[in-house]
Amino acid sequence: MEWNGLIVDENVWEPRQPQDLVKGVPDIQSVPDARPLAANVFVGPISVQTTANAVVGQTSIPVQTTFGFYQGAKVGCMLDLDNGTVFFTNILVPPSGSNLILSRGLPGPMASGNLITLYVETQSQVPAAVEYSLSFNSASAQYLSATGKTTINQQKFTFACWFKTSTVAQQALYYLGDGTLSNRVQLQLNAFASLDVLAQTGGITVANVATTATYADGNWHHVVAAVDTTQAINTNRVIIYVDGVLVTSFGTATYPNQNANLSNNYAATYNIGARLNSATFLNGEMAQVYYIDGQQLTPSSFISGTPGVPIIYTGSYTGMFDFFLPFSNGNATALLGADGSGEGNAWTPINMTTANQSTDYP
């Protein structure tokens, strides 16, 4: 028997059915204005456990794995609070290694084994993270204080922060010392609004490096003051970078002797935004404040590009007095000075309230 020009066995032949005459088409047809097909994504939640305890203000959280997480992702962190609070924030930088870097510090403690959960699967769904600064009013004598340590490295350290001010006056950004002017290390804006690293021991000035440029222009500036007295070349013992650029023009430049021990290691009151408790208050704002004990670092640890945008420091905290102040926890005044380094070196706000937290950010 012949069927469509082919010989078929009459025992298996059957009459044509209507569906035999329907022409099949591919499932996906080309059209004049085709849209690209959406990529398949995993829409279920991804959770990982933390591998160490985390404290209030901490932003670098050790986890089992960072696989599946990405920069900008919205995550929920299970805190150790009585009401089972979940803290929502974002991943600030592309994950690497075994730490997730959060855009805001934890508002409560987080025990080892707690979950961090990824809640969305596409970056377009992630809201922008809000970052913060801290406002200082000199007329209200506002500053931060903490108790120093005798074990601080006296030869190597880095102080870095963003600041802005429109006031031309002597204003301390950071003071470490024995509570006097005789033994101290200080980063300040001097009376001309130049940045100045000043160190005295026994009432003698052992270092005084002040920029020619001034910075009371009302704009955000990033400063890194990096000290290493073990350096053979004297100009490498105190280095100042502003807005990511090495400063080479100085109005004053006195460098410490090689291997000098500076006077920054006292169990006394240290200040941010003031020199002593009643003098040279900062009138402006600060953000992303770091002290890295035992290391002389460059701006690339804290900012990207020039004049720079803030990034989170992902290096090691191996000193005795490391701290990172993101000013991200405005739930209570005391938490404004929470340390995000994980070392627990928190600072106490003086004459401040939660209203000092600001969304004005570099």
Q: What percent of the chain has pLDDT over 90?
A: 59
CA distance linking residue 206 with residue 203, whole number of Å:
9
Give residue 30's pLDDT: 54
Give residue 109's pLDDT: 87
225-283 pLDDT, tens digit each: 999 999 999 999 999 999 999 999 999 999 999 999 999 999 999 999 999 866 799 99
CA 277, distance to chain mean position in Å, is: 27
Backbone angles phi, psi at 273, to 5 degrees: 90, 5
Query: Mean of the pLDDT values across residues 171-184?
Result: 95
CB 112 within 8 A of CB 53: yes
Give residue 38's pLDDT: 46
CATH of domain 45-130: 2.40.10
Give residue 126's pLDDT: 36
Give residue 359's pLDDT: 92
137-150 pLDDT, tens digit each: 999 999 999 999 99
Give residue 2's pLDDT: 52
* pLDDT winner (highest mean) among 260-274, 300-314, 316-330: 260-274
Count Cβ atoms below 10 Å from residue 357 Cβ, excluding itself.
Answer: 20
198-227 pLDDT, tens digit each: 999 999 999 999 999 999 999 999 999 999
Count Cβ atoms below 10 Å from residue 42 Cβ, excluding itself.
Answer: 9
Between 68 and 181, whose confidence is greater?
A: 181
- Given this structure, which CATH class describes domain 133-358? mainly beta
Give residue 66's pLDDT: 83
CA distance linking residue 265 with residue 316, whole number of Å:
21
Q: Work out the pLDDT band at 83, boundaries 50, 70, 90.
A: low
Based on the number of CB atoms within 10 Å of its own CB, is 56 exposed (0-12), middle (13-18) or buried (19 or more)?
buried
> HSE of 63 in the Cβ direction (CA atoms, 13 Å)?
26
Residues in the chain: 362
Give residue 48's pLDDT: 87
User: Where, residue-wise, is CATH 2.60.120.200 in the chain?
Assistant: 133-358
99-135 pLDDT, tens digit each: 898 877 888 888 898 888 887 544 444 334 458 999 9
15-67 pLDDT, tens digit each: 666 555 555 555 555 555 555 544 444 444 678 889 999 988 888 899 988 87
Give residue 329's pLDDT: 85
Check whether 170 has a pLDDT greater than 80: yes
Give residue 82's pLDDT: 57
Question: What secondary structure letter does DSSP report for 260?
Answer: P
User: Where, residue-wise, is CATH 2.40.10 in the chain?
Assistant: 45-130
**Is this prediction's pTM over 0.85?**
no
62-71, 281-290, 316-325: which range is least confident on average? 62-71
Give residue 31's pLDDT: 53
Give residue 59's pLDDT: 85
Give residue 356's pLDDT: 97
Based on the number of CB atoms within 10 Å of its own CB, is 176 exposed (0-12), middle (13-18) or buried (19 or more)?
buried
Give residue 276's pLDDT: 82
